[in-house]
Amino acid sequence: ETGVTQTPRHLVMGMTNKKSLKCEQHLGHNAMYWYKQSAKKPLELMFVYNFKEQTENNSVPSRFSPECPNSSHLFLHLHTLQPEDSALYLCASSAISRRGDNEQFFGPGTRLTVL
Amino acid sequence: QKEVEQDPGPLSVPEGAIVSLNCTYSNSAFQYFMWYRQYSRKGPELLMYTYSSGNKEDGRFTAQVDKSSKYISLFIRDSQPSDSATYLCAMSVVRLQGAQKLVFGQGTRLTINP
């Protein structure tokens, strides 16, 4: 295990539902990330949190709403999603080093299916 | 043009073969180059990283970076069935403070046949 856990591992939801994805890291890191992994596409960075402050929003639609209450927990709130949002959502965390070579540790992901 | 290009494969080779995986990129500002391995139903895990140009070796794995050609490679010697996975290249611009923004290739699915 990498020290990054994600729940749930699988989620099926309708387009009108509201659900949340949870990520927790046990590594003492200060940066956390959300990525989207779709078939036949590269991993796409969605959001970055640095010391609980959002530092990156990669033009993500507002139906995805991140929350970082502390440096160990990260949530992704979902509402009125579209079928094309079906994907594997990966959470990652990293330490902050002055050199910039901050290895990102990934969780196992949440497989989301939107009907 | 995508910032990072990687042939998605699939690539299938016999056990013991030498495997070569490659990525090209367009952003000359990239300084850190990484290879991640992702097994089925798992998240990616860092396999190797290199800073700037040159080679780096770790056991059966060798990573090469040629910044003049904007080309990086991962070589796997004496490949094993346990090496079967998707291999993702990733790159970033050096950021001295703050979180690191990685740009990934599409990933190459590799199968090593016993």
Contact call for B94 and A100, based on CB within 8 A = yes
Percent of chain A with pLDDT over 90: 69
Q: Can you give the pLDDT at residue A40?
A: 82
- Using CB atoms, which residue from B4, B98, B101 is nearest to A96? B98
Cα dihedral B35→A32→A86→A11 (10° resolution): 120
Q: Can you give the pLDDT at residue A52?
A: 76
The answer to whether the beta carbons of residues A29 and A95 sit under 8 Å apart is: yes
Residues of chain B with C-beta less than 8 angstroms from the C-beta of A48: 99, 101
> Which residues in chain A belong to E strands, given as ranges?
4-7, 10-13, 18-25, 31-37, 44-50, 53-57, 64-70, 73-79, 87-94, 105-106, 110-114
Question: Which residues touch B108 (CB under 8 Å, ≥6 apart)?
Answer: B6, B7, B8, B9, B10, B11, B21, B86, B87
Cα dihedral B106→B109→B24→B20 (10° resolution): 170
Nearest Cα residue in chain A from B40: A108
Give the closest-approach CA distance of B77 to chain A in angstroms: 24
Q: What is the DSSP letter of A104?
A: P
Contact call for B92 and A31, based on CB within 8 A = no
Say whether pLDDT at B35 is over 60. yes
Q: Can you give the pLDDT at residue A107?
A: 96
Give the closest-approach CA distance of B16 to chain A in angstroms: 28
Nearest Cα residue in chain A from B94: A100
Say whether pLDDT at B96 is over 60. no
Whole-angstrom distance, CA of residue B76 vs CA of residue B61: 5
- C-alpha distance across the termini of chain A, in Å: 31
At residue A83, the 3 state secondary structure works out as helix
Say whether pLDDT at A83 is over 80. yes
Q: Can you give the pLDDT at residue B4?
A: 95
Confidence of residue B53 (pLDDT cuts 50, 70, 90): confident
Say whether pLDDT at A81 is over 80. yes
pLDDT digits (tens, 9 = 90+) for B63-80: 999 999 999 999 999 999
Residues of chain B with C-beta less than 8 angstroms from the C-beta of A53: none
Give residue B78's identity as a one-letter amino acid code.
Answer: D
Greater confidence, A103 or A18?
A: A18
The answer to whether the beta carbons of residues A104 and A33 sit under 8 Å apart is: yes
